[in-house]
Chains A and B, each alone.
Chain A
Amino acid sequence: MAVKDRLTGNEAVAYAVKQVNPDVFAAFPITPSTDVPMIFSSYLANGEVTSEFVLAESEHSAMSACIGAACSGARTLTATSACGLALMWELLYVASGMRLPIMMPVINRAFSAPLNINCDHSDSMGARDTGWIQLYAENNQEAYDNYFIGMRIGEHKDVLLPVMSCQDGFITSHGLENIDLIEDDKVKKFIGNYSNEVSLINPKHPVSMGPYDIPFYYMEHKYQQVQAVKNAKKVIPGIFKEFGELTGRKYSWFEEYKMEDAERAIIILNSSAGTAKAVVDQLRAKGEKVGLIKIRVYRPFPMEEIAAALSKVKAVAVMDKADSFSNCGGPVYTDVRHACYDLGENRPKIINFIYGLGGRDVQMDNIAHVYEELKKTMAGSGGELYRYLGLRE
């Protein structure tokens, strides 16, 4: 039986890390992710974990320490937000390029300027092309579950990639909600033991890691990294299935909410998906054919699956809690629109809303407005493709 508890999103992640008892946790605190290393350090002080806890002097150093530890075959993590993630940038590519399955809870927060500590997805969306697996969570439960699922994906021998496990800063990270925890023995069984055959401290198989790569080889090594991402695409469904058998919580690339006969749909990530579900319920009660897709795995991007799910829909609004300043829509929008290109006659009309930047509260009325706008889109009198939601004039 699951253990019923109530935890904030950060507490849930810290508890997951305690259950894993990793070899190394290197961190530098930054709002709103600070709770994760802070709570973990109390587990450490109480003797509940045996990890090596490295208090680094910056996020650049924290990620460097993680890379060093992971090269020796250690189960390793750090946690961060916003500018902390930005300071790691150089090392994000090193971690993925060296194929090191480091875990990193990212507690999503806006970038400066203007200075802001609240939630949006600019940080992890900016890092979507760094070669990390990215998982997104609607609530504390999913943030907790994604930690274990993320480890299994990253540590899979055919994958060996680092994983960002994202949730919304403050909204879920500091919000207390009910949660079902998994018993310690079941966690241990699910995550198993990790041993990487390639390790700097294995004297039987001496290796060099991270040396200079000449142009004659570099592309082939990069292609191996691409292969690892393709392999992730293959192994993820099996990991979800196994997790479902363990907990009863059935996850997939994305959650389809009332999509069966939906004509209008929105695509959304993280906490606002929950708010949007309540709007779908209200509109369904009035007989409106609306649905929602909540993306859980953003990297690798489930391109074919998204296209199939949208092939029956007439109009779609993709919600981005980050802009990419490309003048052609936010990051999720461009991916989704690209995924639908080959649908031909079944291709829905697809518009984009940038929303919830810098912690702007996303209310049910805002989401209801999106579904209302989709009526116009469906009728072919849609307006701009790329818009801002709830912008004050």
Chain B
Amino acid sequence: MSKMVEIRWHGRGGQGAKTASLLLADAAFNTGKYVQGFPEYGPERMGAPISAYNRISDERCSVHSNIYDPDYVVVVDETLLSSLDVTNGLKESGGIIINSNKDPAQLRDKLKGYKGKVCTIDAGKISEEELGKNFPNIPMLGAVVKVSGVIPEADFISKMEASFKTQFASKASVIDGNMKALKRSMQEVKGC
């Protein structure tokens, strides 16, 4: 892959969209890519809409602006679909991944005529079942890697496991739960 992949995340303050973008950058770095992962800060409030961004490429990218024509958009909070134009600038060759228990066809109407790929993943459910809490960012991360193909899957899984082992060295259950959430989301994402 010589082309640069650009991803825009939409979430609400406190949901971990920024962390997810940094984790994705981390995972891509671990597979030998040049990465950027950065948030867009507005008023820092829990629940306020926030954006975060990723650029992933085989070459260093010097551009330091936000992303306006992303290849993929990730929506961590479904309620944002009615308040934000989430597909603005989104390439039709790419796709959008939404955290929702609905089928992609049920959400396409809300996407202002977007013709590219629409995928959904019930990240809240997976997180509650595997981690006991609603932390949607890890399942969202799995889904975006599956849908975008930005990192080879097997490589991604082994690098994430290594990263969780360092991060949660003393909490084996957290490592297991996160790994299960990651793998499940890669299998359960709909529409790809």
With A175-B36, A177-B36: A6-B64 Cβ-Cβ less than 8 Å: no
Judge if A277 is at the interface, Cβ distance under 8 Å.
yes
Pick the interface stretch among B37-45, B103-111, B130-138, B164-172: B37-45
Instruction: Count chain B CB atoms within 10 A of each CB in A117, A170, A177 and give the residue with the most.
Output: A177
Q: Is the CB of A275 within 8 A of B38?
A: no
Q: Is the CB of B38 within 8 A of A178?
A: no
Q: Contact string, A165-187, partner B, CB cutoff 8 A, digits 1/0?
A: 00010111011111000000000
Complex: how many Å from CA A379 to CA B66?
33
Judge if B114 is at the interface, Cβ distance under 8 Å.
no
Q: Which residues of B contact A274 (CB under 8 A)?
A: 62-64
Q: Which residues of A contact B38 (CB under 8 A)?
A: 170-171, 174-176
Judge if B25 is at the interface, Cβ distance under 8 Å.
yes
**Size band of the interface chain A makes with B:** 20 to 34
Count of interface residues, chain B, beta-carbon cutoff 8 Å? 20
| A/B interface sample: 23 pairs, CB < 8 A | A6-B26, A32-B41, A117-B44, A139-B64, A170-B38, A170-B39, A170-B41, A171-B38, A172-B64, A175-B36, A175-B38, A176-B36, A176-B38, A177-B34, A177-B36, A178-B35, A271-B64, A275-B62, A359-B41, A361-B66, A363-B65, A363-B66, A364-B65
With A170-B41, A175-B38: A6-B25 Cβ-Cβ less than 8 Å: yes
Write the residues of chain B forming the contact surface with A, with a CB cutoff of 8 angstroms: 22, 25-26, 29, 34-39, 41, 44, 60-66, 68
Complex: how many Å from CA A363 to CA B68?
9
User: How many contacts A-B (CB < 8 Å)?
Assistant: 63
Q: Is the CB of B36 within 8 A of A171?
A: no
Given contacts A171-B64, A178-B35, A363-B65, 7 further A-B contacts (CB under 8 A): A6-B25, A138-B62, A177-B34, A178-B29, A278-B62, A362-B64, A364-B63
With A6-B26, A6-B29: A177-B35 Cβ-Cβ less than 8 Å: yes
Complex: how many Å from CA A278 to CA B39?
21
| Chain A min CB distance to B88 (Å) | 14
Judge if A108 is at the interface, Cβ distance under 8 Å.
no
Q: Which residue of B lies closest to A170 (CB)?
A: B41
Q: Which residues of B contact A171 (CB under 8 A)?
A: 38, 64
Q: Is the CB of B39 within 8 A of A174?
A: yes
Q: Is the CB of A176 within 8 A of B22?
A: yes
Complex: how many Å from CA A279 to CA B22?
26
Q: Which residues of A contact B61 (CB under 8 A)?
A: 278
Within 8 A of B (CB), among A312-364: 359, 361-364
Which 3 A-B residue pairings sit nearest by Cβ, starting from the closest? A274-B62, A175-B38, A271-B64
Q: Which residues of B contact A178 (CB under 8 A)?
A: 29, 34-35, 60
Which of B44, B60, B64 is close to A175, meaning CB atoms less than 8 Å apart?
A: B64
Q: Which residues of B contact A117 (CB under 8 A)?
A: 41, 44
Q: Is the CB of B37 within 8 A of A118?
A: no
Complex: how many Å from CA A40 to CA B151?
32
Q: Which residues of A contact B60 (CB under 8 A)?
A: 178
Q: Which residue of B lies closest to A6 (CB)?
A: B29
Complex: how many Å from CA A138 to CA B36?
14
Complex: how many Å from CA A272 to CA B62?
9
Q: Which residue of A lies closest to B25 (CB)?
A: A176
Q: Is the CB of B62 within 8 A of A277?
A: yes
Which of B26, B64, B66 is close to A176, meaning CB atoms less than 8 Å apart?
A: B26
Complex: how many Å from CA A171 to CA B68?
16
Q: Which residues of A contact B37 (CB under 8 A)?
A: 175-176
| Chain A min CB distance to B160 (Å) | 15
| Chain A min CB distance to B16 (Å) | 15
Within 8 A of B (CB), among A117-157: 117-118, 138-139
Q: Which residues of A contact B66 (CB under 8 A)?
A: 361, 363
Q: Is the CB of A361 within 8 A of B65?
A: yes
| Chain B min CB distance to A96 (Å) | 30
Complex: how many Å from CA A280 to CA B172?
50
Q: Is the CB of B64 within 8 A of A118?
A: no
| Chain B min CB distance to A122 (Å) | 17
Instruction: Count chain B CB atoms within 10 A of each CB in A6, A172, A273 and give the residue with the most.
Output: A6
